[in-house]
């Protein structure tokens, strides 16, 4: 993490000391590095240019649910990103941020008629369809609007992503996608519908994948389907392999973006030349975590140190409502003191003030800390702010983007009045 480092004993994001951010905007606050975001997106974009074939070999659709802040969406859009959305709300965010709807793909198992209508109105690139009833609904809505809806099926390749069961999505027993063996029939049905235009195929097998072998296995199975469909005269324009690349939280060593894409394009290019009669096929990706996860941290202040008979607790002003991943997946996040202290370390559990035993951010960490110190919960850029809630009537954290030696507020801290603004009394 070159964008997060100590200078003169103080943790910085790029050239900004984190105590300055806390002083100006308070805590808890999410802090992102613009340079880190740029670097991660560019790793995808340049590998696609380098290893893909043709003028326009790939589209990188940032997964909006990993971080949907408008400033982040706008920055990625300016770098050329498309977007993978899972709700009408996310589409409205992309549009508000200045993103191009013609680079938007719409995933998710439960799209409502209103969401489909909104997406058709804005002429999105593709619906990733997850069931036949959904296909028929999209056809009906498109018919009503006098349009043709571009679709791909999200196919479940039944490969084991070897990740946490809550973030594994590509197995037979998952709710996602259509069954691999049923996929051909689904495409035949779609090809026969008036208001549907078949354009692609999609899969997404899980998240925080450290090895690319499951992704490449899924690719092989998708390619096999593309060939079979071509045989029946159903020609696809794109193959979307989903997101899912992992990041380093602790000591994990995920495959490098460039290495994965090199291996992937080697296969795709070889297949295009030999089996696919040189026909073009655009590759699409839906990365979230690998772009924004290690580009952000959650900054929090220690309220109390509490020595217990068995454990020592550092009670901080961030909680499970701010960063849900530890409570939900027992996720491990590195915790760094903003100010390095020359004192003996003790073992601490870092916990929040929420009335739940599950409200912890980190366990059994060796830290030299004092009341009032700032802690940085690292690798919190993905599935941090977007999964936060107002549990315990806690206002959601502010968000700040660091850019070199400047930093900008990109979301104000909520006020309590905001929380009950939509509520009303009985008459």
Ligand X SMILES: *Cc1c(COP(=O)(O)O)cnc(C)c1O
Q: Could you list the residues that contact ligand X (CB under 6 A)?
A: 63, 65-66, 84, 86, 107, 204, 207, 242-244, 286-290, 382
Q: Which is nearer to ligand X, 206 or 352 (CB)?
A: 206
Contact between 327 and 358 (Cβ < 8 Å): yes
Tell me how far, at minimum, the Cβ of 322 lies from ligand X, in Å.
19
d(Cα 157, Cα 170) in Å, to the nearest integer?
Answer: 6
Contact between 208 and 175 (Cβ < 8 Å): no
Rama region for 8: left / alpha / beta (φ>0; ψ in -120 to 50; rest): left
Q: Which is nearer to ligand X, 204 or 333 (CB)?
A: 204
- H/E element holding 195? none
**Helix count (H) and strand count (E) of the chain?**
12, 21
List of E strands, 235-370: 238-240, 282-285, 296-307, 312-316, 335-337, 346-351, 360-367
Tell me how far, at minimum, the Cβ of 84 lies from ligand X, in Å.
5
Both tokens of residue 322?
A: 């701010």
Q: Which is nearer to ligand X, 223 or 382 (CB)?
A: 382
- Other beta carbons within 10 Å of 182: 14
Measure Cα distances from 226 to 221, 301, 312 in Å.
Answer: 9, 53, 57
Q: Which is nearer to ligand X, 66 or 294 (CB)?
A: 66
Catalytic residues, which ones? 355
Tell me how far, at minimum, the Cβ of 353 lies from ligand X, in Å.
29
- Other beta carbons within 10 Å of 232: 11
Contact between 281 and 236 (Cβ < 8 Å): yes
Q: Which is nearer to ligand X, 326 or 352 (CB)?
A: 326
Tell me how far, at minimum, the Cβ of 149 lies from ligand X, in Å.
18
Tell me how far, at minimum, the Cβ of 23 lies from ligand X, in Å.
32
């Amino acid at each position: 993490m070159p964008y997060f480092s100590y200078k003169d004993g103080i943790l910085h994001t790029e050239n900004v000391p984190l105590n300055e951010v806390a002083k100006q905007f308070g805590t808890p606050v999410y802090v992102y590095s613009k340079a880190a975001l740029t670097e991660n997106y560019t790793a995808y974009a340049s590998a696609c240019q380098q290893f893909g074939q043709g003028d326009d070999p790939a589209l990188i659709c940032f997964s909006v649910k990993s971080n949907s802040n408008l400033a982040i969406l706008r920055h990625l859009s300016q770098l050329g990103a498309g977007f993978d959305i899972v709700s009408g709300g996310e589409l409205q965010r992309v549009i508000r941020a200045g993103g191009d709807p013609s680079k938007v793909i719409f995933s998710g198992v439960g799209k409502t008629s209103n969401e489909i209508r909104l997406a058709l109105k804005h002429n999105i690139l593709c619906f990733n369809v997850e069931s036949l009833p959904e296909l028929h609904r999209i056809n009906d809505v498109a018919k009503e609007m006098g349009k043709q809806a571009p679709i791909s099926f999200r196919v479940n390749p039944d490969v084991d992503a070897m990740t946490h069961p809550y973030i594994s999505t590509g197995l037979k027993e998952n709710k996602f996608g259509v069954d691999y063996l049923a996929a051909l029939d689904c495409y035949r049905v779609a090809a026969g519908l008036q208001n549907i235009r078949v354009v692609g195929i999609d899969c997404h097998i899980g998240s925080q994948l450290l090895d690319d072998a499951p992704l490449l296995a899924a690719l092989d199975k998708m390619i096999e389907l593309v060939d079979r469909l071509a045989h029946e005269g159903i020609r696809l324009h794109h193959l979307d392999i989903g997101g899912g690349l992992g990041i380093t939280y602790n000591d994990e060593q995920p495959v490098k973006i460039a290495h994965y894409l090199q291996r992937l394009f080697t296969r795709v290019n070889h297949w295009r030349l030999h089996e696919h009669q040189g026909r073009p096929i655009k590759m699409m990706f839906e990365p979230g975590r690998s772009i924004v996860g290690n580009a952000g941290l959650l900054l929090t202040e220690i309220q109390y140190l509490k020595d217990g008979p068995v454990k020592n607790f550092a009670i901080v002003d961030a909680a499970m409502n701010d960063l849900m991943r530890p409570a939900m997946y027992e996720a491990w996040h590195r915790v760094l003191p903003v100010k390095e202290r020359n004192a003996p370390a003790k073992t601490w559990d870092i916990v929040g003030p929420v009335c739940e035993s599950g409200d912890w951010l980190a366990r059994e960490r060796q830290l030299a800390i004092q009341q009032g110190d700032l802690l940085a919960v690292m690798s919190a850029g993905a599935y941090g702010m977007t999964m936060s809630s107002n549990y315990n009537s806690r206002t959601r954290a502010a968000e700040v983007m660091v850019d070199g030696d400047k930093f900008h507020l990109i979301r104000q801290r909520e006020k309590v009045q905001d929380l009950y603004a939509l509520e009303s009394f009985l008459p």
